Structure 1
Amino acid sequence: MRVVMFGYQTWGHRTLQALLDSGHGVALVVTHPRSEHAYERIWSDSVAGLADKHGVPVLLRNRPDDAELLRAVREAEPDIIVANNWRTWLPPEIFDLPRHGTLNIHDSLLPAYAGFSPLIWALINGEKEVGVTAHRMNAELDMGDILLQRRVPVGPADTATDLFHRTVDLIGPLVADSLDLVSSGRAVWTPQDTARSSFFHKRSPEDSRIDWTWPADALERFVRAQSDPYPNAFTHHRGRRLRIVSARVSRGRYGGTPGRIFIREGDGVVVVAGAEARSGRLPGLVVRRVRTEDGLELAAPEYFRTMGGYLTGRP
Structure 2
Amino acid sequence: MRPRAVVFAYHNVGVRCLQVLLARGVDVALVVTHEDNPNERIWFDSVAEVAAEQGIPTLTGAQQAELHEAVRAAQPDFIFSFYYRHMLPVALLALAPRGAYNMHGSLLPHYRGRVPTNWAVLHGASETGATLHEMTAKPDAGAILGQTSVPILPDDTAAQVFDKVTVAAEQTLWRVLPALLAGEAPHLPNDLAQGSYFGARTPEDGRIDWNQSAQQVYNLIRAVAPPYPGAFTEINGTRLIVARARLAAPGALPSDLPVGLHVSDNAVFAQCGDGRALRIHALQRASGPHEPPPLQGESQIDTFIDTFVTPAELAQLLHSCRHS
Query: Cα distance, 1:11 vs. partner?
Result: 2.0
Query: Contact 2:148/2:171 (CA < 8 Å) preserved in 1?
Result: no
C-alpha distance in structure 1 between counterparts of 2:262 and 2:59, whole Å: 56
CA RMSD of aligned residues (A): 2.2
Query: Contact 1:2/1:80 (CA < 8 Å) preserved in 2?
Result: yes
Query: Contact 1:268/1:289 (CA < 8 Å) preserved in 2?
Result: no
State the SS of the aligned residue for 2:210: coil
State the SS of the aligned residue for 2:146: strand
Which position in structure 1 is the counterpart of 2:188? 190
Q: Aligned residues, how many?
A: 298
State the SS of the aligned residue for 1:211: coil
Which position in structure 1 is the counterpart of 2:314? 304
C-alpha distance in structure 1 between counterparts of 2:25 and 2:167, whole Å: 20
Query: Cα distance, 1:54 vs. partner?
Result: 0.9
State the SS of the aligned residue for 2:125: coil
Please list the CA deviations of residues 176-224 of structure 1 after superposition, one character each: whole Å capped at 9, or x if unmatched.
2222121223211112121222222222111111111211111112112
Residue 286 of structure 1, aligned match among 272, 279, 287 = 279
Query: Contact 1:9/1:43 (CA < 8 Å) preserved in 2?
Result: no
Say yes or no: does 1:33 pair with 2:2: no
Which position in structure 1 is the counterpart of 2:267? 268
Inter-CA distance 297–57: structure 2 relative to 1 (3 Å threshold): same
Alignment of 1:169-184 (within 5 A): 169-184=167-182
State the SS of the aligned residue for 2:224: coil
Query: Contact 2:235/2:318 (CA < 8 Å) preserved in 1?
Result: no
Which position in structure 1 is the counterpart of 2:48? 48
Query: Contact 2:132/2:144 (CA < 8 Å) preserved in 1?
Result: yes
C-alpha distance in structure 1 between counterparts of 2:158 and 2:186, whole Å: 31
Alignment of 1:104-119 (within 5 A): 104-119=102-117
Query: Contact 1:33/1:62 (CA < 8 Å) preserved in 2?
Result: no
Please list the CA deviations of residues 48-98 of structure 1 after superposition, one character each: whole Å capped at 9, or x if unmatched.
2211111111111266x22x2212211211111110111112111111221
Normalising by structure 1, report the TM-score. 0.87
Which position in structure 2 is the counterpart of 1:24? 26
Query: Contact 2:112/2:197 (CA < 8 Å) preserved in 1?
Result: yes
C-alpha distance in structure 2 between counterparts of 1:227 and 1:205, whole Å: 11
Which position in structure 2 is the counterpart of 1:166? 164
Query: Contact 1:237/1:310 (CA < 8 Å) preserved in 2?
Result: no
> Structure 2 counterpart of 1:254, which letter?
S
C-alpha distance in structure 2 between counterparts of 1:244 and 1:192, whole Å: 37
Say yes or no: does 1:150 pair with 2:160: no
Which ranges in structure 2 are unaligned for 5 or more consecutive residues? Answer: 288-305
Normalising by structure 2, report the TM-score. 0.85
- Give identity over the alignment, percent: 37
Query: Contact 1:234/1:244 (CA < 8 Å) preserved in 2?
Result: yes
Please list the CA deviations of residues 258-303 of structure 1 after superposition, one character each: whole Å capped at 9, or x if unmatched.
32x44627x73332212xx5xxxx312332320112521145x343
Say yes or no: does 1:230 pair with 2:257: no
> Structure 2 counterpart of 1:133, which letter?
T
Inter-CA distance 262–173: structure 2 relative to 1 (3 Å threshold): closer
State the SS of the aligned residue for 1:69: helix
State the SS of the aligned residue for 2:16: helix
C-alpha distance in structure 2 between counterparts of 1:61 and 1:217, whole Å: 42
Inter-CA distance 173–288: structure 2 relative to 1 (3 Å threshold): closer
Query: Contact 2:235/2:317 (CA < 8 Å) preserved in 1?
Result: no
Inter-CA distance 257–212: structure 2 relative to 1 (3 Å threshold): same
Query: Contact 1:42/1:229 (CA < 8 Å) preserved in 2?
Result: no
C-alpha distance in structure 2 between counterparts of 1:290 and 1:308, whole Å: 14
State the SS of the aligned residue for 2:17: helix
State the SS of the aligned residue for 2:315: coil
C-alpha distance in structure 2 between counterparts of 1:188 and 1:117, whole Å: 27
Please list the CA deviations of residues 84-137 of structure 1 after superposition, one character each: whole Å capped at 9, or x if unmatched.
111112111111221221110011111111111111111111100011010000
State the SS of the aligned residue for 1:241: strand
Between stretches 248-257 and 161-170, larger displacement belongs to 248-257
